[in-house]
Homo-oligomer: A and B are copies of this chain.
């Protein structure tokens, strides 16, 4: 199969095409710098440290997080969740969990519950409808320490985050962890203004970075137990990681070419924000309309928000999701069918038995690709 002819509509899993600047940044770092920050005092090691600082600064500014010392780079969002949840939660803590959480959060939470460390409550979908934040009250316990919420559902694309909720819970003294893995490049956040205590992000989705990057941002001084012990490039003499932020959370050699590329991806987004938004919205309208007009297609939504990322989940009459994905793949169209690493989200959506077919767009998709996809879907479902 010629990869050039493929229509890639699985951008919510990973954005496949990156801006040229991102490839260029990787190439620059790898060939020109090629060393690790904090390892040595020579020219190249210092250049590496400068690059790391600049990348941290870019993340800190993008999320309006007050200080670079509270930006921790990890290999992916999943590591960041494990670092945060294991390091922050203590015996007896209670966590409020949105019903949209994917396994990157849900599994570490379940592990902590299985170990008898924490308890959690899964909130009903209704409390996320506009103006319903008072409903949170009945789930808040005396020991409720944390609320976990995604920026957007990775299944339906609907925007879950609302600053009304985060400000409401902030007043109740509950800390907020926002999962920005899906949507960080599309929806601008302001940790200060929105009272977001912690954000987890990934590089390889809509921030246009590469796989192998992600991280945790903290609004205030981050003081949790590190997940990983090891060489930090500073204070080599201590027997465990030194208490210095953010290095104590980043033991081991960092993926610096990836981190440097991520900075470049964020810059691209900042410079093209309107252009990206306009094109994605235009493509998404065509996609949505086309699917809505097909009476054999059922679109699945939580109905919590009018706002959405360019992601849509559907099922088709007479076809299992796997069959449909197989048929689309034969027509060189790449979508994702099944559970999308999100059992909780599919349970809340009523689709946990069979999953859904997810189509997710990106700035680099073309209108003709969407039309081709709709033609193929109509052909499959209407015969």
A240 touches B16 (CB 8 A): no
Docked complex Cα distance between A31 and B27 (Å): 13
Number of A residues near B (Cβ < 8 Å) is 90
B228 touches A78 (CB 8 A): yes
Using A30-B210, A108-B229 as known contacts, say yes or no to A252 and B75 having CB atoms under 8 A apart: yes
Smallest CB-CB separation from A258: which chain B residue?
A: B212
A39 touches B23 (CB 8 A): no
Smallest CB-CB separation from A235: which chain B residue?
A: B339
A231 touches B79 (CB 8 A): no
A103 touches B343 (CB 8 A): no
**In the complex, how many angstroms separate the beta carbon of A181 from the nearest chain B beta carbon?**
9
The answer to whether the Cβ of A246 comes within 8 Å of any Cβ in the partner chain is: no
Interface string of A6-47 (1 = CB under 8 A from B): 101010011011100001001100111111100111111100
Interface string of A209-251 (1 = CB under 8 A from B): 0111010000000000001111111001111110000000001
A104 touches B329 (CB 8 A): no
B227 touches A257 (CB 8 A): no
Docked complex Cα distance between A36 and B78 (Å): 14
Q: Which of B36, B79, B102, B230 has a CB less than 8 Å from the CB of A103?
A: B230
**Residue of A17, A229, A233, A340 ringed by the most chain B CB atoms within 10 A:** A229
Task: List residues of chain B with CB within 8 A of the CB of A336.
Answer: 39-40, 42, 45
A335 touches B211 (CB 8 A): no
A35 touches B17 (CB 8 A): no
Interface string of A332-346 (1 = CB under 8 A from B): 111111111111000
A236 touches B42 (CB 8 A): no
Docked complex Cα distance between A206 and B236 (Å): 23
Q: Which of B18, B241, B253 has a CB less than 8 Å from the CB of A204?
A: B253
Smallest CB-CB separation from A15: which chain B residue?
A: B34
B338 touches A10 (CB 8 A): no
The answer to whether the Cβ of A256 comes within 8 Å of any Cβ in the partner chain is: yes
Q: A40-B334, A202-B253 are in contact. List 13 more A-B contacts (CB 8 A).
A: A23-B27, A30-B210, A35-B334, A44-B334, A45-B334, A75-B75, A75-B252, A82-B251, A104-B252, A107-B230, A214-B252, A232-B341, A237-B343
A-B contact pairs, 7 of them (CB 8 A): A14-B35, A26-B26, A40-B334, A43-B334, A45-B336, A77-B252, A104-B230
